[in-house]
Structure 1
Amino acid sequence: MFDSPETLAEALAGEDYVIDPEFAVVVHLATALERPLLLEGPAGVGKTELAKSLAAAGGRRLVRLQCYEGLDDGRALYEWDYGKQLMHVQMLRDRIGELLSGTTTMAQASARLRAEDTGLYTEDFLLPRPLLEALLSPEPVVLLVDEVDRTEESMEALLLEVLAEGQVTVPEIGTFTARSTPWVVLTSNDTRELSPALKRRCLHYQVAFPTPERETEIVSRRAPAVATDVVADVVELARRLRELPLRKSPSISEVIDASRAAAVLGLESAGESEKVRSTLLAALLKYGSDRELAIARLDGDGGAAVEVAEDSGWVRRSSRPADTTSGAFGKGRAASTGGSAGARDRARRGLR
């Protein structure tokens, strides 16, 4: 499909997916060798989006298995259409009398029924789920096994036959071999260590957050209406936030949302960033504790007003709602610094 990593990168760029040259080589090898590709890394770095863009660039249908705790083979492989089977049995009921005519004992009736093929367990009554659907598809597809680390290890064992042999075994029927070879992409957010057996059957790539320059290019492609300098400011803010010990670092999609929010509010240059400070943090951070930490660190002075209880001699910090991203955008630093110095002087006087 793709002659070279460069051809692959160009095709993905046509779907607005910007890929690093090294990453493009690994994806190209996965498609050329028809090997499963395991992508590990933090949430929001573009692992799932790669599978979507790869399907679009390759002209293939995307078949997605979203993993979660408690996922079983009935949701991943196949189920039997019990309603359809019941209707089939009702249709056969009138024929059973004819079939059993001439029998005088239960043993004879049972033996005759066993000898007949009632057709209940055939492919006609099978409901393929994503794994089997990808193998039974006459046209090649892209199979996305998303967040495989959220399942139990027993589900990993179930995947091994699909990944290594390209087949699925249904006990009542037999083995289904792939009618076409899918491109398989597995993603993991590193919430737990995957088994060596699963990793052994895949090509592997550790996806990290892109460089600011590449992330600016990504965001500009996905949010073309936003001014370039504003995109650069939002990317820089996200970079600084990712250096903090947050519960959840801003993902690329959240950076895109923040940039679009800036455009909706009419931000045309970095000098107007004060208008959307709280909106940017609302788009980038999803936990109150992360927001408080970001305000404190980005202000550069602890981000809180120090209030001194004169009678008890202890210092209490209360959240300050204003000036949240001035440190990241370089605006309003003098005002915030002056206020912080005054607060520190008051604190020192109160603690003496």
Structure 2
Amino acid sequence: MPAIDAPVTPEGLRERLFTAGYIADEDLASLVWMGLTLERPLLLEGVAGVGKTAIAGACARALGRPLLRLQCYEGLDLSQSVYEWNYSRQLLEIRLAEAGQGDRQALRENLFGEEFLLQRPLLQAIRSLQPCVLLIDEIDRADEAFEAFLLEVLSEYQVSIPEIGTLKALSRPLVILTSNATRDLSDALRRRCLFHYVDYPSLARETQIVRTLVPEAATRLVEQAVAFVQRLRKEDLDKVPGVAETLDWVRILFHLGLAELPADHLLLVPSLAALLKTRNDRWQVTPERVAKLIDGPRIGQEAGVAGAIR
């Protein structure tokens, strides 16, 4: 995939993100542009389901860069995130040398060289000849010790390996960290990043997103479905549906042959499996509650929704 030069303006980047299938607002497009210009990591914080991870994929497509992803979890260590030694290959080389089929002196000098190093996402990202997009997903799930190690990578774009020394970046990736805010991140990490809080989109913007990504669905169906989801998010749910759930639901309604929400709300209940993801949520959103959510006042009409999305 050939790399594309970074746009010279935030608006130019916003247009590329739109072409890549992501409808970014001005603040987000400006943030990504600043990250590219300053070569600074981006920290995207927000609740699950607002599309933080999708931003990294869209940036990769918009810039023509490969995407590398590191999924964080409790107990994540260097061997999964940065590097580990290829012990099986090292053992093979040792046995060949013992059998007289290898150079023992060269083996002693090179046994812990880069040719025996297995690169994981963080090291791959900075040693890539072509700049990439590095997604460090859900950094708040990782331990604080791992977060502290990241500081060297994010500030100096280098990795220190005791057996080799310091490996500096051959290219600087666009680094995007996401956090669901399940724990506080350190001040040191935040200082190294440009920050943006990603919230659920407004009615107008979510309608535009669904129209763009599900163009086959009728306009009336999209408007009604998005308004329903926006009301549903105000309910006391265990898991609030995100934009991805809205898209799935609209696709289901479209494949059911609907051009608008049916008058018989009971027909909608089975399809709510796309929106409600826990037993408790399915239990509390009764058919009667569905009817009230459908018939409720439109959200955001006072903001001029019709004009904003056309």
Determine whether 1:69 maps to 2:74: yes
Tell me which residue corresponds to 1:237.
228
Determine whether 1:38 maps to 2:3: no
Tell me which residue corresponds to 1:192.
183
Quick one: percent identity of the two aligned structures?
Answer: 45
Tell me: CA distance 1:118–1:246, structure 2 relative to 1, closer, same or farther (3 Å): same
Tell me which residue corresponds to 2:208.
217
CA positional deviation for 1:273:
6.3
Residues 81, 126 of structure 1: 8 Å contact kept: yes
Tell me which residue corresponds to 1:325.
290
Tell me: CA distance 1:273–1:11, structure 2 relative to 1, closer, same or farther (3 Å): farther
CA positional deviation for 1:118:
4.0
Map 1:87-236 → 2, pairs under 5 A: 87-95=92-100, 117-236=108-227
Residues 261, 279 of structure 1: 8 Å contact kept: no
**Aligned partner (choices 234, 257, 270) of residue 248 of structure 2:** 257
Range 229-238 or range 115-124, more displaced: 115-124
Range 83-92 or range 126-135, more displaced: 83-92
CA positional deviation for 1:323:
4.4
CA positional deviation for 1:121:
0.3
Residues 61, 142 of structure 1: 8 Å contact kept: yes
Mapped to 2, the partners of 1:23 and 1:97 lie a distance apart of 55
Greater Cα radius of gyration, structure 1 or 2: 1
CA positional deviation for 1:272:
5.0
Q: What is the TM-score with the length of structure 2 in the denominator?
A: 0.89
Residues 96, 102 of structure 2: 8 Å contact kept: no
Tell me which residue corresponds to 2:301.
none
Residues 143, 185 of structure 1: 8 Å contact kept: yes
Instruction: Please identify runs of 4+ aligned residues in structure 1 that moved more than 4 A.
Output: 95-99
CA positional deviation for 1:97:
11
**Aligned partner (choices 16, 22, 26) of residue 27 of structure 2:** 22
Q: Please list the CA deviations of residues 225-245 of structure 1 after superposition, one character each: whole Å capped at 9, or x if unmatched.
A: 111111112211211121122
CA positional deviation for 1:280:
3.5
Q: Please list the CA deviations of residues 273-299 of structure 1 after superposition, one character each: whole Å capped at 9, or x if unmatched.
A: 63641134211110121123333xxxx
Three-state SS of the structure 1 residue aligned to 2:269 is helix
Aligned residues: 291
Residues 97, 103 of structure 2: 8 Å contact kept: no
Residues 65, 130 of structure 1: 8 Å contact kept: yes
Residues 93, 107 of structure 2: 8 Å contact kept: no
Q: Please list the CA deviations of residues 109-167 of structure 1 after superposition, one character each: whole Å capped at 9, or x if unmatched.
A: xxxx7x98342100000000000000110000000000111111011011111000000
Tell me: CA distance 1:80–1:87, structure 2 relative to 1, closer, same or farther (3 Å): same
Three-state SS of the structure 2 residue aligned to 1:325 is helix
CA positional deviation for 1:52:
0.2
Q: What is the TM-score with the length of structure 1 in the denominator?
A: 0.79
Three-state SS of the structure 2 residue aligned to 1:193 is coil
Mapped to 1, the partners of 2:204 and 2:84 lie a distance apart of 47
Three-state SS of the structure 2 residue aligned to 1:18 is coil
Tell me which residue corresponds to 1:109.
none
Residues 35, 184 of structure 1: 8 Å contact kept: yes
Q: What residue identity is the alignment partner of 1:326?
A: A
Residues 140, 184 of structure 2: 8 Å contact kept: yes
Mapped to 1, the partners of 2:81 and 2:257 lie a distance apart of 46
Q: Please list the CA deviations of residues 55-98 of structure 1 after superposition, one character each: whole Å capped at 9, or x if unmatched.
A: 00000000000111111110000011111101111121134999
Determine whether 1:82 maps to 2:47: no
Tell me: CA distance 1:273–1:220, structure 2 relative to 1, closer, same or farther (3 Å): farther
Residues 126, 169 of structure 2: 8 Å contact kept: yes
CA positional deviation for 1:40:
0.1
Map 1:223-302 → 2, pairs under 5 A: 223-272=214-263, 274=265, 276-295=267-286
Three-state SS of the structure 2 residue aligned to 1:239 is helix
Residues 47, 181 of structure 2: 8 Å contact kept: yes
Tell me: CA distance 1:85–1:219, structure 2 relative to 1, closer, same or farther (3 Å): same
Q: Larger relative CO (CA 8 A, sep 6+): 1 or 2?
A: 2
Three-state SS of the structure 2 residue aligned to 1:204 is strand
Mapped to 2, the partners of 1:214 and 1:15 lie a distance apart of 17
Structure 1, unaligned stretches of length 5 or more? Answer: 100-112, 296-321, 332-352
